[in-house]
Structure 1
């Protein structure tokens, strides 16, 4: 009997809407966490590649879109100094 009520509940429109909303929130949270981890990794790689980053540069990096961040992740492999990073930021 309990499985019957549970089955009916799962088929209800309200249940489906709540489930979908929960899934969407979970996906959004996952994307945000993934983006933050990527941002943290790029910051660590930059610091290792060109040295300590100024607070001004760190602020600029926080405003980059995900696409820009991914592009920077590739570009930083060719950086040899913080001026390479500054030039990249000025152009992007």
Structure 2
């Protein structure tokens, strides 16, 4: 059995890590898009400022927002929730 040179293994490992990061970023973007669509359906169109705040949320916060939005009835509910996240 012939081993690959160290530099080649490092390059392959770096490529794989890059692919994994890309997949994770894609999942995060997908979650953001889904949350925004659900919010638009639940409470109507959301202004750009709120969209920017939502896009800045962590994965965990997005997951929490996904659950919380089920209880929202208007944009004020979303604003309150977002304000509580920055405390």
The structure number with the bigger radius of gyration is 1
TM-score by length of 2: 0.90
After TM superposition, the score normalised by the length of structure 1 is 0.86
1:3 aligned residue: none
Number of the residue aligned with 1:84:
77
Count of residue correspondences: 85
Q: How far apart are residue 53 of structure 1 and its match?
A: 0.3
Structure 1 portions without partners, runs of 5+: 1-6
Determine which structure has the larger helix proportion and give its number.
1
Unpaired runs of at least 5, structure 2: none
Q: Counterparts of 2:63 and 2:51 in 1: how far apart (Å)?
A: 16
The offset of 1:11, in angstroms, is 2.4
Mapping of residues 22-33 of structure 1, within 5 Å: 22-33=15-26
Q: Which of 37, 45, 54 is the equivalent residue of 2:47?
A: 54
Q: Which runs of 4+ in 1 moved over 2 A?
A: none
Q: Over aligned residues, Cα RMSD in angstroms?
A: 1.2
